[in-house]
Amino acid sequence: MKDIKSEAQDCKVQVLVCTNERPPGKSCCHKLGGQDFYLALKNRLKQEGLYNTHWVTRTGCLGFCNDVGTTVAIYRQGQSTQWFNEVTAADMDSLWQEIVRE
Characterize 77-102 residue by residue with b for buried, 16 or more Cβ atoms within 10 angstroms of its Cβ, and e for exposed. Answer: eeeeeeebbebeeebeeebeeebeee
CA dihedral (90, 96, 99, 102) positive or negative: negative
**Of the options 3.40.640.10, 3.40.30.10, 3.30.1490.190, 3.40.50.720, the CATH number for the domain spanning 14-100:** 3.40.30.10
Q: Which residues of 46-55 are buried (b: 16+ CB within 10 A; e: fewer)?
A: eeeebeeebb
With residues binned 3-state (H G I as helix, E B as strand, rest as coil), the percentages for the chain, rounded to 5, are 30, 25, 45
Could you say which DSSP state residue 12 is in?
S
pLDDT at 102 over 80: no
**Domain regions of the chain by residue span:** 14-100
**Nearest-angstrom CA–CA distance, 99 and 102:** 9
Confidence (pTM): 0.89
Residue 3: CB atoms within 10 Å: 7
pLDDT tens string 23-71: 887 888 888 899 999 999 999 999 999 988 999 999 999 999 888 999 9
